[in-house]
Each structure stands twice: as structure tokens, then as C-alpha cells.
Amino acid sequence: MGTIKILLYEDNQELRLSLSALLGFSDEFKLLASFPNCEGIESHLKMFDPDLILMDIDMPIVNGIEGLKRVRKVDNNIPVVMLTVFEDNKHIIEAIQNGATGYILKQHLSSRLSDAIHEALEGGAPMSPLVASLVLKHISKSNRQKKDYQLTNREKEILQSLTDGNSYKMVANILGIADGTVRTHIKRIYEKLDVHSQAEAVSKTLKENII
């Protein structure tokens, strides 16, 4: 694709300016606008038609969780990558349940942002390993009974790798199989879980403690 158009929601002015500068260093990104909270986000989507949204979770007036809910009522497909701090596990899980695409720890923005944006646009679910570990540990404490989706061992391996935040290509490299084989398995996983995207698959996996 051409220039990637981005909307940013972050209440910390210093971080907002830093992110604006960081995105501005690359010709492949265009920051359309930035806002201190998600008030009016529905109109922003129509006005700017972004390719991707970067969104802080904890903001005043209209926070990231509410903003995410509003986005999903308008557009269920646009990638929304949440900006978070490691300690914010409760809100991270809430964001997963409401359709967030991925998560970047704020302290990793300078090194992880570009890759995370590309992963999200390619259908992946970028997630810092620390965040993935925190979420999985939290979910595993629940006593929900697992539903048997009849996943094979290979499908579980792939689903686990996706849940860890790996792209299709990374899954193929980790498991030593072809990209096409990964995509075939993922198609079957989606059918068994009755989902239509990696974000949905990861969300369902975490909510139901499938693996």
C-alpha cells in the first residue's frame, strides 16, 4: 500500500508530540490528526478515513476502551493498536474483549512502533511478549470450563504463536513450515473457532482459555 494514514489518541501531550515526530521521520506514515481523548471519534473516522488507529487506553472524558467500542460500531475491520503500560492488565483484557488489534508497551514505542503498524495492517495482532504473558497468566487463573474446538496439536501450536503476537511469517519461521501451510492451518482454525480474523481468534482464545 502507499502512505499509511494514522489517527492518534493520547492524552499525554509530550508523548503525543514524540509520537508525531517519530511517525514523521518515515515517508511511509502520515499522521492525519491527534487528539487527547476519543470524544468525537465517530466523526473523526468519517472525516479522515484512516488506515489504522493508535490509541492510549487511559484517557480522560472518553477513554480508549469506550473509544474502541465506538470504533467497532462504525468499522469492525480497521486495525486499532492500543498504547499501554505493563501494569494496566485489567484494561488490556477489556480491550481484547472489545476488539483491539494489538498492544504496544509505551516504553517500546521507539523500537516497536513501525513493525507493529505493519503487522496489524497485514492481519496480525502485534503484542509485546510481556503483555501477552501477563494476559495469559491472568486468564489462566479463571475457572472457566474449556470448550473443545477439536483443534489438532499443530493448530494449537499455531494458535499459541499467534496469541504470542507473531505474524504469519514469524509463525512459519518458528515452526519450520511454509507460509502457505500456516495460512491453510489458520483458515481451519478460524472455521473451528467461528472467527474471521487473527484479532478475533486471539480474543476468543484468551477469553475462553482455549490453549
The yes-or-no verdict on residue 143 having pLDDT over 50 is no
User: Residue 85 has what pLDDT?
Assistant: 77
- pLDDT band of residue 43 (cuts 50, 70, 90) is very high
- Predicted confidence (pLDDT) per residue in 47-75, tens digit: 999 999 999 988 889 998 899 999 998 99
Cα angle for residues 204, 198, 86 (degrees, 5° grid): 70
- Please name the helix (run of DSSP H) or strand (run of DSSP E) that holds residue 29, with its range, or none: strand 29-35
**Mean of the pLDDT values across residues 26-46?**
91
Q: How many CA atoms lie within 13 A of 3 on its CB side?
A: 13
In whole numbers, what is the pLDDT of the chain averaged over residues?
85
Q: Which candidate, 198, 199, 203, places its Cα nearest to that of 182?
A: 198
CA dihedral 140, 146, 147, 152 (to 10 degrees): 70
Domains of the chain (ranges, CATH numbers): 4-137 (3.40.50.2300), 145-208 (1.10.10.10)
AA letter at 128: S
Cβ 201 vs Cβ 190: under 8 Å: yes
- Could you tell me where the DSSP H helices lie in the chain? 13-24, 41-48, 64-74, 89-97, 109-121, 129-140, 153-163, 168-175, 179-193, 198-208
- Please name the helix (run of DSSP H) or strand (run of DSSP E) that holds residue 54, with its range, or none: strand 52-56
User: Residue 151 has what pLDDT?
Assistant: 92
The yes-or-no verdict on residue 76 having pLDDT over 70 is yes
The yes-or-no verdict on residue 104 having pLDDT over 80 is yes
Cβ 20 vs Cβ 66: under 8 Å: no
80: which strand partners? 53
User: Residue 2 has what pLDDT?
Assistant: 78
